[in-house]
Amino acid sequence: MEDKDLMEKELLIIKGVCDLYLHGTIESTTAEVHCAFKDALNTSLDIQNKLYNLMAEKGWYKTETVEQTKIDNVKQKFSNQ
């Protein structure tokens, strides 16, 4: 398996972990549990950010630049609601 494929899978897994920890943080009923989930979430977000940056640096995670007019149109659309 290629490095790119492994990193894509790892990035998907860490995104899922972040989602679980986020919901654990939101739904926790005690301060201790909330802090534990929040700490785990922050650690996972740091890992996700490092993976993303490495993949972007290698050209494995491409993003598109959007025209400013399109961004302005979306802002306008949702600010009117």
Q: What's the pLDDT score for residue 64?
A: 85
Give residue 22's pLDDT. Answer: 98
pTM for the structure as a whole:
0.77
Dump pLDDT digits (tens) for 26-61.
999 999 999 999 999 999 999 999 999 999 999 998
In order of 53, 66, 71, 77, 81, the CA distances from 50 in angstroms are: 5, 24, 27, 34, 36
Whether the pLDDT of residue 21 is over 90: the answer is yes
Burial class (CB in 10 A: 0-12, 13-18, 19+), 31: exposed
Note the pLDDT of residue 56.
93
pLDDT at 61: 87
